[in-house]
Structure 1
């Protein structure tokens, strides 16, 4: 009897032991790896704003700027800007303007201009970008670290544009953006414009601004504000893609030319 009891205990003990098959079928959580082309400094900035992995999981961004509502598909960058006077869209192939009686010469330049500024620093994480660490720089009495962003030829409508993100060396948070504009002239430029980013707020796990203020910038000095700050309200991000019909070109629309030329 004692022998049978002992055998029963051993059998139960063996049954309770984890098997090699159970161990091998357990799946560990996937480890996120930053895109190979990202620099260490850019990754620090992105992490301070919620991380590129979180940004990449989002599919829709919308906001109100003045009387203009913008909706963007973050995965394919289709966009729709709607105001009381006109609607501008990008359907993946063409930038269109409706109604077609309105001037369309600047629509190609304008259609994603504020989206690009607003979605910093995440948008400069796109493929085709190169990053260069700059020497620390003082802006308005505070010293910042800098990352210069440039692009491969053929990336976007204006690959010769450059951006410089100035960020707090301790927190990694972006506070200023310098940029050049080459789209309308078609010629590279070394003249930088300057934007101050404020009102950083968390939306769906990423940190985006609610206020952009342009400043004059000459002879390495920050000057006076240029007009009123641009405010972004009703900000919404989602893992659900927007309705594709929003970006379809209506019958009464005109196609915007690729480059309007001039200054």
Structure 2
């Protein structure tokens, strides 16, 4: 990453840590618990233990779930993922054709899936999702040239794998093993119950290394109804992890390369996007009302 980006990410991270922590919503937590939890981190240990125990029981009841649970353990464990608190990172999404670049530093409430993004080019341009309302506060219409409501939680479904699949309403299927880049992979497909989140027709197909239990790649589709009001979805893409780092006990991907799955050769199709991820941190607190719509912001999903 460029030095200027890293320094900017660090400054933004320090602003979060100084307090010292229409996207798919987490369906594993009752609404009452989400409201209380978001008001006062750290999450009580009893809540984390209950959630992890529930996921453990549910996942280990099936062969596909057992594979996913082992992946969560290899990536640091679901308990560590939640007890670490708010998750911040710089996510730089760069299509090779130069169109649709999306570059922001973001903080995610992993417990209740809330998000706040700052533009890297101008940190005063911000957007977010507070669990019910998507909002944006930008200097003008050119500040964000992409759908910020859709993108508010999209990066966590890259950087949060496999933990983002722990909830109820997620259906898992074990597919046939495959060899990918010379390594045997256990393959788990995740789909969603009707009405879960803003795009229940989405799916993810995880390639989980049979030796390390780490996620090496995943396939996915986008079926966001705002883009496909009559049904359907975008072509499937294959996203390949480009390296990992360990932050506060959690193994995280430092980048991805994306390919079109159609007409794939040797497991990969046309190379289309680079994604660089950096400036990771976890923190137990953020400022009051950090994810709420700030004064002067526009509501996107009225």
Same-fold call, TM cutoff 0.5: yes
1:53 to 79, 83, 88: 79
1:37 matched to 2:82: no
TM-score, length of structure 2 as denominator length: 0.68
Q: Report the alpha carbon displacement of residue 144 of structure 1 after superposing the two structures with TM.
A: 1.6
Post-superposition Cα deviations, 1:205-227, rounded to whole Å, max 9, x if no partner, equal 11111111112322343134324
Partner of 1:55, secondary structure, is helix
Q: What's 1:209 paired with?
A: 253
The 1:171/1:105 distance shift into structure 2, 3 A limit, reads closer
Q: What's 2:271 paired with?
A: 225
1:64 to 73, 81, 90: 90
Q: Report the alpha carbon displacement of residue 127 of structure 1 after superposing the two structures with TM.
A: 2.3
- How far apart in 2 are the matches of 1:212 and 1:167? 15
8 Å contact from structure 1 (residues 81, 111) kept in 2: yes
8 Å contact from structure 1 (residues 99, 252) kept in 2: no
Post-superposition Cα deviations, 1:228-259, rounded to whole Å, max 9, x if no partner, equal x3111110013x1322332121232111237x
- How far apart in 2 are the matches of 1:81 and 1:211? 19
The 1:105/1:200 distance shift into structure 2, 3 A limit, reads closer
8 Å contact from structure 1 (residues 210, 233) kept in 2: yes
Q: Report the alpha carbon displacement of residue 115 of structure 1 after superposing the two structures with TM.
A: 1.8
8 Å contact from structure 1 (residues 89, 95) kept in 2: yes
Where structure 1 has 5 or more consecutive residues not aligned to the other structure, the ranges are 1-29, 259-263
- How far apart in 2 are the matches of 1:105 and 1:196? 23
- How far apart in 2 are the matches of 1:211 and 1:105? 21
- How far apart in 1 are the matches of 2:241 and 2:212? 15
Range with bigger deviation, 71-80 or 95-104: 95-104
Structure 1 residue runs of 4+, over 6 Å off?
Answer: none
- How far apart in 1 are the matches of 2:139 and 2:196? 28
Q: What's 1:252 paired with?
A: 296
Q: What's 1:7 paired with?
A: none
- How far apart in 2 are the matches of 1:233 and 1:193? 22
- How far apart in 2 are the matches of 1:253 and 1:100? 10
- How far apart in 1 are the matches of 2:281 and 2:263? 39
Q: Report the alpha carbon displacement of residue 201 of structure 1 after superposing the two structures with TM.
A: 1.3
Q: Which structure: larger Rg?
A: 1
Partner of 1:230, secondary structure, is strand
8 Å contact from structure 1 (residues 105, 257) kept in 2: no
- How far apart in 2 are the matches of 1:211 and 1:104? 22
The 1:57/1:210 distance shift into structure 2, 3 A limit, reads same
Q: What's 1:120 paired with?
A: 161
1:185 to 208, 222, 228: 228
- How far apart in 2 are the matches of 1:154 and 1:143? 34
Q: What's 1:90 paired with?
A: 129
Range with bigger deviation, 102-111 or 213-222: 102-111
Q: Report the alpha carbon displacement of residue 188 of structure 1 after superposing the two structures with TM.
A: 4.2
Q: What's 1:22 paired with?
A: none
Q: Report the alpha carbon displacement of residue 166 of structure 1 after superposing the two structures with TM.
A: 0.4
TM-score, length of structure 1 as denominator length: 0.78
Partner of 1:45, secondary structure, is helix
Range with bigger deviation, 164-173 or 183-192: 183-192
Post-superposition Cα deviations, 1:107-164, rounded to whole Å, max 9, x if no partner, equal 2211111122111111111222111100012334544210000111121110110001
Where structure 2 has 5 or more consecutive residues not aligned to the other structure, the ranges are 1-48, 60-64, 93-102
